[in-house]
Structure 1
Amino acid sequence: MNIRNSTTSDIAAIFQVYEQASAYKLQVGNKGWKSFELSQIQKEIGENRHYVILEGEAIACTFLLTFNDDVLWKEAANDSSIYIHRIATNPLFRGNSYVTKIVLWAKEYAATTNKKYIRLDTHSGNEKINNYYSNCGFTFKGVTMVEWTAELPEHYKEGSFSLFEIAL
């Protein structure tokens, strides 16, 4: 297993993993991601905030870091935190506890950047994923509502999100 920054040559595989993960989210719950813009992914890669987990040469998982999330975390977004977004696992590699591996990686990353929290969110109402995040060391911090604007990704139109945090 190797975690590294995504590159533009990874984009097609990243989109494939996103599509598969969204279909799976709809299968096990009632909410999934909408499509993402190519320019958005390119920007995140250019800012060195987009990551892949490789198993051999295959992309097993992908995720994104941000350093502020006032849309979901509101005033708490001013805390010194990293936010993990869009964790998506290639179906061929499901069951390998990639969130736990991302958490270990994020703890090291957070320590080098003096962050106090690791945070993530998910659509509300999926107890299976809520329990999974809790089992990965996150504390449930409540549900927040999003007032969608055109600047936000389409999946934010679905309103309520569960918030999770690890205090370091």
Structure 2
Amino acid sequence: MTIQNSSKDDVGDILYLYDEAVKLQKIKGAAPWPKFSREFIETEIKENRQFNIKIEGTIACVWAIAFDDAQIWQERSADAAIYIHRIAVNPSFRGQNLVLHIVNWAKEYALKSSKNFIRLDTVGENLGLIKHYQKCGFCFLGLTELKDTKGLPAHYQNAKVSLFEIRL
């Protein structure tokens, strides 16, 4: 298993995993992600903010990070934190606790980057996902209503957001 920055060669796989994540979100009744453009993913890759886990040469999981998330985290965004977004697991690798590997990676990455928190969010009150993230070490901070969703992806519009963090 390797964790690495995604490359431009990975864009097709990333888009496929996002499509698979949306299928699962719809099955589970969660707010589905919108379609993300190739250019959007390529920008994250150029900025070294898109990562993946490869197992035996196959992308098992992808995610992106940000260093600012003011629209979602509001006043808490002043904290030194990394924000994990869009974890998508390859259907062939589901159930292998890959989020735990992301958490361990994020702890190292955050400490090297002088960050005090690892944070993530999910739209709505997805009880299964809340429980899963708690098992992975995140503290569930509760639901919040976003004050300004202008420019955020469509699934954030008119929705409550579940917030999670790990304090380092």
Aligned to 2:154: 154
In structure 2, C-alpha distance between the alignment counterparts of 1:31 and 1:39, rounded to whole Å: 23
Aligned to 2:125: 125
Cα drift, residue 117 of structure 1: 0.4
Q: TM-score, normalised by structure 2?
A: 0.96
Question: Structure 1: where are the runs of 5+ without partners?
Answer: none
Q: Kindly indicate whether the alpha-carbon contact (under 8 Å) linking 2:71 and 2:149 is maintained by their aligned counterparts in 1.
A: no
2:69 is aligned with 1:65: no
Superimposed CA distance per residue, residues 103-140 of structure 1 (whole angstroms, 9 cap, x where no aligned partner): 00000111111110000001122100000001100001
Matched position secondary structure for 1:141: strand
Matched position secondary structure for 1:115: coil
Matched position secondary structure for 1:31: coil
2:75 corresponds to which letter in structure 1? Answer: E
In structure 2, C-alpha distance between the alignment counterparts of 1:154 and 1:59, rounded to whole Å: 26
Q: TM-score, normalised by structure 1?
A: 0.96
Superimposed CA distance per residue, residues 38-68 of structure 1 (whole angstroms, 9 cap, x where no aligned partner): 2111110000000011011111000001001
In structure 2, C-alpha distance between the alignment counterparts of 1:30 and 1:152, rounded to whole Å: 17
Runs of 4+ with >6 A deviation: none
In structure 1, C-alpha distance between the alignment counterparts of 2:158 and 2:98, rounded to whole Å: 26
Report how many aligned residue pairs link the two structures: 167
Cα drift, residue 159 of structure 1: 1.5
In structure 1, C-alpha distance between the alignment counterparts of 2:94 and 2:165, rounded to whole Å: 23
Cα drift, residue 72 of structure 1: 0.7
In structure 2, C-alpha distance between the alignment counterparts of 1:167 and 1:43, rounded to whole Å: 29
Q: Are residues 132 and 4 of structure 1, via their aligned partners in 2, closer, same or farther at CA, if it must alter by over 3 Å?
A: same
In structure 2, C-alpha distance between the alignment counterparts of 1:95 and 1:128, rounded to whole Å: 13
In structure 1, C-alpha distance between the alignment counterparts of 2:22 and 2:73, rounded to whole Å: 23
Question: Structure 2: where are the runs of 5+ without partners?
Answer: none
In structure 1, C-alpha distance between the alignment counterparts of 2:158 and 2:59, rounded to whole Å: 28
Matched position secondary structure for 1:121: strand
Aligned to 1:2: 2
Q: Kindly indicate whether the alpha-carbon contact (under 8 Å) linking 1:148 and 1:159 is maintained by their aligned counterparts in 2.
A: no
Aligned to 1:109: 109
Q: Kindly indicate whether the alpha-carbon contact (under 8 Å) linking 2:64 and 2:85 is maintained by their aligned counterparts in 1.
A: yes
Aligned to 2:17: 17
Matched position secondary structure for 2:95: coil
In structure 2, C-alpha distance between the alignment counterparts of 1:21 and 1:56, rounded to whole Å: 21
1:28 corresponds to which letter in structure 2? Answer: K
In structure 2, C-alpha distance between the alignment counterparts of 1:34 and 1:80, rounded to whole Å: 28
Cα drift, residue 14 of structure 1: 0.5
Q: Kindly indicate whether the alpha-carbon contact (under 8 Å) linking 1:34 and 1:155 is maintained by their aligned counterparts in 2.
A: yes
RMSD: 1.0
Matched position secondary structure for 1:111: helix
In structure 1, C-alpha distance between the alignment counterparts of 2:105 and 2:59, rounded to whole Å: 17
Aligned to 1:144: 144
In percent, how many aligned pairs have the same letter?
Answer: 43
